[in-house]
Amino acid sequence: MSAQTIPDLPCLCGSLRRASRALTQRYEKALRPLGLRATQLTILQVLARAGEVSQGELGGMLAMDSTSLTRTLAIMRRQGWVRERRGRDRRERWLHLAQAGENKLERVAPVWEQVQGELRSLLGPQGSRSLLQLTREIVSLAAREGDAL
């Protein structure tokens, strides 16, 4: 499909979701040979930066629904990338990056950096900064409104 045949969408949500899917597909294609999904990479990156967090906090940081997060974390725990410990309440789960997760991040870093570089080149420095700023603003607005996080 050419860019000329892609209709503009008047809906902010629809446009952003379509852009997100397009970006995700690009990362997924690059990560597939390494046995990692884009969602899993994002979780590893967040845990590497945040340290130990509750599953609820992680879901908030990712603006991710509980069912999808639980399903993805189960796979990641089986792979040994994420470790879990129970909190005082049986339902409370605290998560942190396991050594295997750190190793996985190191192995995928060159591929991730290549995709990042390609996208930065295509968008240009200002476009890349603007995109990151805009996504931060959207998440921040949603959090203030109580729609996410």
pLDDT in tens, 45-101: 999 999 999 999 999 899 899 999 999 999 999 999 999 998 888 788 899 999 999
Contact 41, 112 (CB under 8 A): yes
Contact 75, 35 (CB under 8 A): no
Task: Say how far apart CA 46 and CA 34 lie, in whole Å.
Answer: 19
Confidence of residue 149 (pLDDT cuts 50, 70, 90): very low
**Phi–psi pair at 85, nearest 5 degrees:** -130, 150
Q: Using the predicted structure, report yes or no on whether residue 1 has a pLDDT greater than 80.
A: no
User: If you average pLDDT over every residue of the chain, what do you get?
Assistant: 92
Task: Say how far apart CA 27 and CA 82 lie, in whole Å.
Answer: 21
Contact 134, 57 (CB under 8 A): no
pLDDT in tens, 99-138: 999 999 999 999 999 999 999 999 999 999 999 999 999 9
The token pair at 77 is: 């725990």
Q: Shortest CA distance to 52 belongs to which of 5, 96, 87? A: 96
Its pTM stands at: 0.88
Q: Using the predicted structure, report yes or no on whether residue 148 has a pLDDT greater than 80.
A: no
Share of the chain above pLDDT 90, in %: 77
Contact 112, 34 (CB under 8 A): no
Sheet hosting strand 53-54, strand order edge to edge: 53-54, 93-97, 82-86
